[in-house]
Structure 1
Amino acid sequence: MTETLFLDDAYLRDAEARVTAITPEGGIVCDRTVFYATGGGQPGDSGWIDWGQGPVPIATCVKGERDDLVLVPAEPVGLPPVGAFLRQSLDWERRHRHMRIHTALHLLSVVIPLPVTGGQISAGRGRLDFLMPEPPEDREAVENALNALVDRDLSVTEDWISQADLDANPGLVKTLSVKPPRGAGQIRLVRIGQGSDQIDLQPCGGTHVARTAEIGHIRLGKIENKGKQNRRVHISLDL
C-alpha cells in the first residue's frame, strides 16, 4: 500500500521514498508518493525521480494492484532496483493548475446546483456534465457568480466520515458517474467555507487549493448539448 502524501499535504512538492516493486510494464511502486494517481477526472501527476543516476521524467501516476500507486516513466529507461531510495519531484506548475481547476469545478457545482453526470480536469481547463434539460439563460450571471465565490477567499478544508455516515447522508454525493473515494472505512470530504460561510461539502479524493482566492479569475466557456437531459459546461482559468 502506497502512502498518499498528497492527501496529507497537497502543497508538498518533493519527498524521499523507497522502491517496493517494479511492475511487469516497467512502472515504479514506492512506499510513499507525492504523485496523485489518475482518478475522479483528475489526471495523474508528472515530474521526476532521481536515485543517484540523474533525473528520470515521470509521465503520469496510475492506480495499480491493491492500493499501490504506480509511477510511469516518460520513456524506456533503466529502472531503480527494489529497495532503492529515490527522490520524487512534482511538475508543480502543472499540479497547481490541476488544484485550481478542481476547486473551481466544485464552485461550478455550487453555482449550478444540479446532479453532476461527469467531469474532466486538465491544466487550467475543466468541465462538468450536468443533468440539465436546458442551458443557463444568463451565461454572464454564471461567470459572475463563480468569480464572486473566488473573491470571498473561502477556506478549503477536509474532513473524514465513516462509510455508514455517508450512506446515511446520500445528499452529500453530487457526482452520479464517480463513486465516492471509499477505503479503510472512511470517506474524505472536501469543505469550502466554514460555519455560516460554508457553501459546499462533498466526497472527493482529489487535490485542492487552500483558499478560493488562489484559483484566480474563472472564465465560462462553451456549453454543449450532450443529450436530451445533459449539458457539458466548460471553464478555464487566467494562467
Structure 2
Amino acid sequence: MTTALLFRDDAYLREATARVLAAGPEGVVLDRTVFYPRAGGQPGDTGVLRWAGGEMAVADTLKGPGDGVLHVPAAGAALPEVGAEVTALLDWERRHRLMRMHTSLHLLCSLIPGAGVTGGQIGAEKSRLDFDLPEPPTKESLTERLNELVAADHPVTEGWITEAELDANPSLVRTLSVQPPRGSGRIRLVRIGDAASPVDLQPCGGTHVRSTREIGRVEVAKIENKGKANRRVTLVLAGE
C-alpha cells in the first residue's frame, strides 16, 4: 500500500480528503495524507480523521509497511471502514511549532560548521542537537547569532539531487547517527538562504517554515556535556 505524502509538496496543507486503504488497532492507512510520519527526529503528527457518522483522534503517525503511513488511533477511538472517504485534519498549532523548531535546528547547525551531529530531537516545547564538539560557543553567543539569522528573513526552499550527486558531495550530510533514506534514486535537500551562498544546505525529509522570520525569537536554553566530545544544545521558542 502506498500513501501519497501531500506535505512533501506543501507543508502548509492543514487538511485533505482521502480514501481508507486499511484500518486496524495499529493504525489507519490512507491513499493520501497531510500527516507527517515520525522520522529523522521529527515527531509524527496528531489530529483527527472525520467521516460521515464518525471520527477518530490520531494520537501519532508512523511509517507503515511498504510506502504506507499509519495514522495511529487514540485509545478507544472508532475506526473508519476500508474504502470510506475521510477528511484528515492536522493539529495545526502543534505541527507549525514543530516546523518552526525544525527550521531553527538547521540554523543552529549552520552556526557550528565542521562538527558532526551525533543526535537530535524535535519537540513542540524544546528541541536539541548533539554535536561532536569539544568546546562549543556560549549559549549567549549562539542565541544572539540565531536570532540574527531569524530576523534576516532568509527563504527556506527545497530541491532534489541524485544519490550519485550526494555521494560526490558527502559533506552535505551533517548527521552521523541518521543517514538520508536511499533507494528511490533521489535525495531531498532543504536550503536556507539563496542558492549562490546558502546559510544551510543539507538532506532532510521533514517539514519547515517558508522563511526564517516565521520562526520567531529562539533561545539556547542550555548546553550540556554528554561525553568527552559530545555537546547537547537545547533550543526553545522564546516568550511562548
Taking structure 1 as the reference length, the TM-score comes to 0.96
Distance 1:15 1:173 in 2: 33
- Tell me the distance in 2 between the aligned counterparts of 1:38 and 1:164: 26
Give ranges in structure 1 of 5+ residues lacking alignment.
none
Aligned partner of 2:19 in structure 1 is 18
Show structure 1 runs of 4+ deviating over 6 A. Answer: none
Give the secondary structure class of the aligned counterpart of 1:109: helix
Residue in structure 2 matched with residue 140 of structure 1 by the alignment: 140
Q: Tell me what 2:124 maps to.
A: 123
The alpha-carbon deviation at position 198 of structure 1 amounts to 1.6
Deviations 1:76-95 (A, max 9, x none): 23311111110000000000
CA shift digits 1:64-120 (9 cap, x unpaired): 111111000112233111111100000000000000000000000011121101000
Deviations 1:105-138 (A, max 9, x none): 00000111211010001114100000011232x3
SS state of the match for residue 195, structure 1? coil
- Structure 1 Cα separation of the partners of residues 183 and 104 of structure 2: 25
| Matched-pair contact (CA < 8 Å) for 1:220–1:235 | yes
Task: Tell me the TM-score normalised to structure 2 length.
Answer: 0.95
**Amino acid in structure 2 at the alignment position of 1:77:** A
Aligned partners of 1:18 and 1:85 also within 8 Å: yes
- CA deviation digits over 1:14-56, x for unaligned, max 9? 0000001124x44100000000000100000000011112332
| Residue 38 (1) aligns with residue 20 (2) | no
Contact 1:100 1:124 (8 Å CA) reproduced = no
Question: In the aligned structure 2, how far is the partner of 1:79 from the partner of 1:123?
Answer: 27
Question: Is the Cα–Cα contact under 8 Å of residues 57 and 77 in structure 2 kept in the other structure?
Answer: no
Equivalence for 1:103: 103
When residues 34 and 183 of structure 1 are mapped into structure 2, their CA distance, relative to the original with a 3 A threshold, is farther
Partner Cα distance (1:153, 1:21) in 2: 42
Kept in 1, the 8 Å contact 2:153–2:211? The answer is: yes
Partner of residue 50, structure 1: 50
Show the counterpart of 1:81: 81
How many residues are treated as equivalent by the alignment? 237
Give the equivalent residue in structure 1 for 2:149: 149
* SS in structure 2 at match of 1:182: coil
**Matched residue of 1:97: which SS?**
helix
- Determine whether 1:199 maps to 2:213: no
Note the C-alpha offset of 1:232: 0.5
SS at match of 2:79: coil
Q: Which amino acid aligns with 2:56?
A: V
Q: Name the residue aligned to 1:172.
A: 172
List runs of 5+ in structure 2 lacking aligned partners.
none
Q: Could you tell me how far 1:190 is from its partner in structure 2?
A: 0.2
Paired with 1:166 and 1:132, the residues of 2 have a C-alpha distance of 24
CA-CA distance at 1:140 after TM superposition: 1.6
Contact 2:55 2:78 (C-alpha < 8 Å) held by counterparts: no
CA distance in 2 between partners of 1:124 and 1:198 (Å): 28
- Following the alignment from structure 2 to structure 1, what is the Cα–Cα distance between the partners of residues 195 and 117? 25
Does structure 2 conserve the Cα–Cα contact (< 8 Å) formed by 1:126 and 1:236?
Answer: yes
2:16 partner letter: A
Give the match for residue 232 of structure 1. Answer: 232
Counting aligned pairs with the same residue, the percent is 58
2:4 aligned partner: 3
Tell me how far apart the structure 1 counterparts of residues 226 and 211 of structure 2 sit (CA, whole Å): 32
Distance 2:112 2:75 in 1: 42
CA distance in structure 1 between the aligned counterparts of 2:77 and 2:146, rounded to whole angstroms = 44
Aligned-residue RMSD, C-alpha: 1.2
SS of the equivalent of 1:77 reads coil
